[in-house]
């Protein structure tokens, strides 16, 4: 999931100070789980805007905000409110914000959140980064633990000389990614494979932006 965090509200109010009427758009998926773009957060934003003399023409939590066509269809039911809107505040990730830009080229669109990273919810409201979207996954070779993301240096053949009692030199609170990989592969009976493993240089060209996947083409 995409982990989002709320932008500073005072700064957001300053950014949109010239607009009068607002429509709030959330997302029922990642942003709802992050507590940044579900019904409670939209209600909170509505109250904040109204307390600052603004009009809120409508609010809506899209099923999947980054799905442009689906969101466009869902918002047809809010045509009247959107026609009376001069600014949409999107309370999901950056992709959701850009869906709104694409659907409403004539209306100003502003993000209420910062998109932080791709991660997992490990406990309620606790999120850990797990994947850097490198485009050339090596989890099949590293016991399912990602050194590109879990190691602050992204070292492919670790550990580095800074590992200390199994922890990363960056912080004693972070276990060395390569110690984790070693332990995990050991549990799978693959210690020998670990010791012999030399990862090839990665295909970093797969992470050159902007990327596009055409799944329909790939199915042919
Ligand atoms: S190797 Fe690349 S794609 Fe696989 S989890 Fe790590 S960053 Fe993500
Ligand atoms: S100690 Fe381990 S996790 Fe930290 S930088 Fe070195 S190899 Fe990476």
pLDDT (tens digit per residue) in 45-73 = 999 999 999 999 999 999 999 999 999 99
Using DSSP bridges, classify how beta strands 21-27 and 55-62 pair: parallel, antiparallel or unpaired. Answer: parallel
Alpha carbon of 36 to ligand 2 centroid (Å): 32
28 lines ligand 1 (CB under 6 A): no
Distances in whole angstroms, Cα of residue 209 to Cα of each of 73, 134, 212: 29, 11, 9
Q: What is the predicted pLDDT for the residue at 220? A: 65
Q: What is the predicted pLDDT for the residue at 144? A: 98
List the residue whose alpha carbon is closest to atom 8 of ligand 1: 131
Residues of the chain with CATH 3.40.50.2300: 2-116
Does residue 4 sit in helix, strand or coil? Answer: strand
Q: What is the predicted pLDDT for the residue at 217? A: 82
Chain position carrying tokens 């670790």: 158
151 lines ligand 2 (CB under 6 A): yes
* CATH code of the domain occupying 2-116: 3.40.50.2300
34 lines ligand 1 (CB under 6 A): no
Q: Return averaged pLDDT per consecutive 10 residues of the chain, 220 residues in all.
A: 98 98 98 98 98 98 98 98 98 98 98 98 96 98 98 97 96 97 98 96 95 85
Q: What is the predicted pLDDT for the residue at 210? A: 96
Task: Assess contact for 174 and 147: CB atoms under 8 A.
Answer: no
151 lines ligand 1 (CB under 6 A): no
Measured between alpha carbons, how far is 33 from 62 in angstroms, rounded to an integer? 14
Q: What is the predicted pLDDT for the residue at 119? A: 98
């Amino acid at each position: 999931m995409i982990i989002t965090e709320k932008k500073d509200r005072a700064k957001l109010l300053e950014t949109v100070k010239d607009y009068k009427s607002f429509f709030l758009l959330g997302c029922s998926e990642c942003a709802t789980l992050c507590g940044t773009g579900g019904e409670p957060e939209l209600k909170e934003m509505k109250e904040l805007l109204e307390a600052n003399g603004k009009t809120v023409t409508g609010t809506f939590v899209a099923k999947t905000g980054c799905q442009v066509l689906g969101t466009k269809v869902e918002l047809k039911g809010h045509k009247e409110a959107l026609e009376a809107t001069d600014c949409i505040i999107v309370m999901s990730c950056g992709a959701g914000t850009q869906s709104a830009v694409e659907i409403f080229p004539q209306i100003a669109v502003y993000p209420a959140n910062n998109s932080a990273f791709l991660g997992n919810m490990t406990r309620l409201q606790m999120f850990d980064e797990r994947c850097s979207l490198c485009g050339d996954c090596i989890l099949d070779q590293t016991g399912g633990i990602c050194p590109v993301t879990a190691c602050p240096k992204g070292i492919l053949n670790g550990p580095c000389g800074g590992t200390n009692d199994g922890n990363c030199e960056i912080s004693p609170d972070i276990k060395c990614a390569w110690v984790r990989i070693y332990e995990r592969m050991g549990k799978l009976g693959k210690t020998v494979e670990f010791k012999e493993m030399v990862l090839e240089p990665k295909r970093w060209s797969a992470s050159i932006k902007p990327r596009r996947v055409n799944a329909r083409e790939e199915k042919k």
